[in-house]
Structures are given as structure tokens and as C-alpha cells.
Amino acid sequence: MGRTTVSLSGWELDNPVIPASGTFGYGQEFSELYDINCLGSFSFKGTTLHPRFGNPTPRIAECPAGLINSVGLQNPGVDHVLAVELPRLARFYKKKVIANVGGFSVEEYAEACRRLDASEQVGILEVNVSCPNVDHGGMSFGVSPEAAAQVTRAVKAVTKKPVYIKLSPNVTDIVPIAKACQEAGADGLSLINTLLGMRIDLRQRKPVIANRMGGYSGEGIYPVALRMVWQVYEAVKIPIIGMGGVSTAAEVIEMMLAGATAVQVGTASLIDPWACQKIVEELPQVMEQYRIESLQEIIGGAHHG
């Protein structure tokens, strides 16, 4: 293995830097700015079984240390992704991607994942359990160990590719949910998703976002994400993809020392479209600064220091 190479469930990545779902589309726009093959991989836009228009506008609210979004999983649906987006992607991206999947019932998750599982371009299925369970009062699948495990089992039953469950931080304790996913057969975990937040327009005296609340992301949530990656690493034996407010190469390494095997970068790319490219380029220098020979060897290293 090379100095920056890491392995996710047997899939070798040139480096651990992965643009996060919802911040990189299906890759085309960023490919016009730089050669995105420099990335370890990327997690494409959250995709559901059926096309979704998403939530009403406005959907975005700025914050001092990040932003709040309530896009509502706007996407063209899994069949369009397989027929149009992935063939287009193959023209400019030569690596496998992470397929981020949303759903509003266990059956929707399973069927969308089953269809994506057949694509050779997909390396990992990343299942976002922060979606509301419409069959049980709208509570997010990700806030219940039982519901998260149910989705995990259903997806594993119809797929062969590694399945990573993307966990919500909007819970009292993320560890029982992580353990439940592992026991249900998850190959890995992604964490954290966005925190719930809101802003109020002082002039109009009403919430900025039409949906009132949305997902808070950006630099402000980094310490929370790091803490949760640390906790989950100590509780499970499966790989973790860490994310949440990461914006520098040093933070990628910090997240790996906490227990992440790979690291996703989200809001930083919305602020600076070249953020991920810069992090990849800076990694070797930061490794040299801290006398790191191999990134694979530092995973969870802070637990033993």
C-alpha cells in the first residue's frame, strides 16, 4: 500500500478523501474544474427509488460557521441515475463511486439498493437512515436502533456490495444505533449526517427556510463529528467513514486518528469548489509534518496513544 492509500471493505482507495453526498452532485460540474480522479472516491447525490422534486424554497440559510439546508433529497430517481448519470460519469471518472441511497420505507431502501447493486461503477452502498419512516409516523429511521437495523437487514438481503449505514447525530446516544447496524450485518458506517438547526429572519420574523428547520453542516459541527466517530470506533469492529465539518488535510488526519478509515468533505466544497483537490494535494505535506509513514496505519491511533 502507498502512503496515502486506505482500504474500505477490500476496496483500495488512492487516498481517504471523499466528497460527501449532496455536495458533489454526480461529479460532472466539478470535473469541469479539475481532474476529479485525484479523489479517493465520491459519494453521489442522495438517490431515492422514485424521482423527487424536494422541499419548497428557500432551502438554504447561511450561518457563521456553516449553513443549513433543507433540500429534501431532490433527485431524478434510481433508474435515471443508472441509465443516464452513471454512463455520463464513466466518461470522466475512472474509479468506483459510493452510491448514497435514501428511502421512506424499508421496501424503498431495499429496492433502490438492489438496482444500484448491479452497477459495476458502484463500490459501496451508503444508506442514509436520516429519512422519515412514512409507515411509522414519520420518525427518522436513524433515531431508532430497531429501525436502523431493519433497514440494514433488508438491504443486505438483496445486495452483494458492501453496505455502509449513514448515521444521524440527532440522537441521545449514537452508539446503540451503530451497534444495532453492525449486528444486522452492516459492512461499515458513515457518520455523521447533519445536525438539526434553523435561522429566523429578523425583518419578517419567521424562519428563513420554508421547511422551518434543516440540516446544519460546516466547520461548526466538526468537534461533534469527531467525538461521535471516536465513540463509535470504540464500540464496533467495522470500518467508519468520518464526516462533519472537515475542511483541511490536518482535520482528515485527526478524524482518522479518532477512528475513521476514510473521510468525507461536504460543505467545504460548496464554499470552495477546489477544497477536496487542495486537501488531497496537502495530505503528503501534513503527513511529513507529523511524521506519518502510512495513513492506513494511523486509523484509530489516538485510542492507543
CA 138 to CA 77: how far, in whole Å? 21
Q: What would the pLDDT profile of 108-167 be if each residue is shown by its tens digit?
A: 999 999 999 999 999 999 999 987 655 555 568 889 999 999 999 999 999 999 999 999
Asked if the bond preceding 192 is cis, omega within 30° of 0, the reply is yes
User: Phi and psi dihedrals of 7, rounded to 5?
Assistant: -120, 125
Q: State the pLDDT at residue 116.
A: 98
Share of the chain above pLDDT 90, in %: 93
Q: In what order do the strands lie in the sheet with 17-19?
A: 17-19, 262-265, 240-243, 188-191, 163-166, 122-128, 97-101
Report the candidate in 151, 126, 114 with the shortest Cα–Cα distance to residue 136: 151
Whole-angstrom distance, CA of residue 294 vs CA of residue 283: 11
At 52, give phi and psi (nearest 5°).
-135, 135
Cβ atoms < 10 Å from Cβ of 157: 11
Fold topology of 6-56+71-200+216-303: TIM Barrel (3.20.20)
Domain spans of the chain? 6-56+71-200+216-303
Distance, in Å, from the CA atom of 181 to the CA atom of 175, rounded to the nearest integer, reads 10
pLDDT along the chain (305 residues), means of 10: 88 98 96 98 97 94 92 95 98 98 95 98 96 61 93 98 97 97 98 95 96 94 98 98 98 98 97 97 96 97 89
Q: What is the pTM of this model?
A: 0.96
Catalytically active residues are: 131
